[in-house]
Amino acid sequence: MKPRHLGQKSILTAEQIARPRTILDTFPNPSPRRDYEIKFVFSEFTSVCPITGQPDFATITVVYVPDRLCVEMKSLKLYFFAYRNKGIFYEAVINTILDDLAAVLKPRRMTVIGDFAARGGTTATVSASTSAKRAR
């Protein structure tokens, strides 16, 4: 499967923004018999507080052990961009990211961590994890 976003202009459609999971591209795991860890750190994540409308800034870290599929990095970046104007609480965004990535990739293990910038003198870190037992 050829990634849809590589070499293409990075403009998201209204449908992609409404359903970010549709943005994610995958490719076959090159070493499916081995457990190895992939880590992405996205330091420019932005969403919006659903109460105040103020922007929330975070560093999102995704760590996973792939099974049959890996996520293509540009599509992951575009996926994160889809949250730029969404009104969503910290806890909801981290769990939604985990749910979307786990549904698409079906990883052996995955953790998503959101380190949110200080607002009102308080920082927040939210993490969510999943694992799946599969026969190899």
Cα separation, 128 vs 113, whole angstroms = 7
Which one of the listed residues 25, 56, 70, 100 is annotated catalytic?
56
Catalytic annotation on 67?
Answer: no
Does the annotation mark 70 as catalytic?
no
Q: Of these residues, 49, 67, 99, 115, which one is catalytic?
A: 49
Give the C-alpha separation, 13 to 112, whole Å.
25
Record the tokens describing residue 60, joined without a space.
């999102």
| Tally of helices (H runs) and strands (E runs) in the chain | 3, 6
Question: What is the rounded CA–CA span in Å between residue 135 and residue 67?
Answer: 10
Amino acid at 135: A
Measured from the Cβ of residue 110, the count of other Cβ atoms closer than 10 Å reads: 22
The set of catalytic residues is 49, 56
